Structure 1
Amino acid sequence: MMELILLRHGKAEDSNPGGDAQRALVEKGHDQARRAARLLHAIDRLPHIVLSSPRLRARETAETFCEAAEIPGPVMQGWLDCGMDPETALQELRAFSDFDRVMIVGHEPDFSSLVEWLLGCSGSSVEVKKGSLVGIEIHPPAWHAVLMFVIPPKMIGKR
């Protein structure tokens, strides 16, 4: 079994002259990542490894999360970039099956598509907001999934 935790990148600047890939987090985004780390620490659910999209806003979210959680920094993964396919994601996650709890930091609509695909729902029934946490228990080899939690950023305390 693998616990998969999704952390959508935090609030980022609306645009950047360097293009979408260079959009940086604003202070609210860093705060969302720190609060997510404190919450997962409090409930004893810190990830054993953090994988991140290489886009700046996701990378900064992952780095801020890891720093606040006092765990090793994130590992950049190209497959987590915008446009991630759910089947590709699961195939790539197999390489990390030695870890009991894996966090991925990425983007929409990719995360919603992954959650829907894992849980067998469809029709845009899921939306993962910026700074949200989603926990899913995955059971190989069939990759049967069970939703553990969805925590929107407004419900993650300011402690």
Structure 2
Amino acid sequence: MELLVIRHAKAEDHGHPGGDGARALVAKGFEQAAKVGRLLKRVNRRPDVVLTSPLVRSRQTAEALCEAAEMPGPVVQGWLACGMDPEAAIRELVAFSDFERVAIVGHEPDLSSLIEWLLGCSGSSVEVKKASITGLLVHPPAWHARLLFHIPPSLIGD
């Protein structure tokens, strides 16, 4: 399975009156998410399914990405919320292992921890920037991975 790991795009600052989960994307974030979707479409890497955290900023990122990539909307998954444990994420991803390409949209430091776990490295060796894409070739059932690519938001064009 190819796993596309995407961090949510730029959102409102911390301290939102509705709490962290209610923080929405700002205008720049919507554009970042759309650029990710257009890139995935342009390079023929649209996922078979997009899974997203239930938090507003991740849902909005996934929705904008899907719309720009001209694909079905995302599927909300509670396990992608803040505080995701890599081993728990793997247990949940098993249900999607029949798909050729799966995208997950979530949060830091959870996504970095998942990538490190899959690659067998540790010690803060990975940092996932907002609206970046990391592609991994994941091999179930052992759930080890090979890095295919990492595209920071600064390199994602229109």
Q: What is the TM-score of this pair, normalised by structure 2?
A: 0.97
Q: How many residues align?
A: 157
Distance, in Å, in 2 between the alignment partners of 1:147 and 1:68 is 25
SS of the residue aligned with 1:44? coil
Q: Residue 63 of structure 1 aligns to which amino acid in structure 2? A: E
Deviation of 1:126 (Å): 0.6
Distance, in Å, in 2 between the alignment partners of 1:76 and 1:140 is 22
* Residue 39 of structure 1 pairs with residue 54 of structure 2: no
Moved more, 136-145 or 60-69: 136-145
- Map 1:122-133 → 2, pairs under 5 A: 122-133=122-133
- Hey, what does 2:21 align to over in structure 1? 21
- Map 1:8-157 → 2, pairs under 5 A: 8-15=7-14, 16-157=16-157
Q: Residue 73 of structure 1 aligns to which amino acid in structure 2? A: G
Deviation of 1:139 (Å): 0.9
Determine if contact 2:97/2:140 at 8 Å carries over to the other structure: no
Percent identical: 67
Structure 2, unaligned runs of 5 or more: none
Structure 1, unaligned runs of 5 or more: none
Alignment deviations for residues 50-100 of structure 1 (CA, whole Å, 9 cap, x no partner): 000000000000000011111110000000000000011111000011211
Q: Residue 13 of structure 1 aligns to which amino acid in structure 2? A: E
Deviation of 1:43 (Å): 1.2
SS of the residue aligned with 2:147? strand
Q: Residue 64 of structure 1 aligns to which amino acid in structure 2? A: A
SS of the residue aligned with 1:122? coil
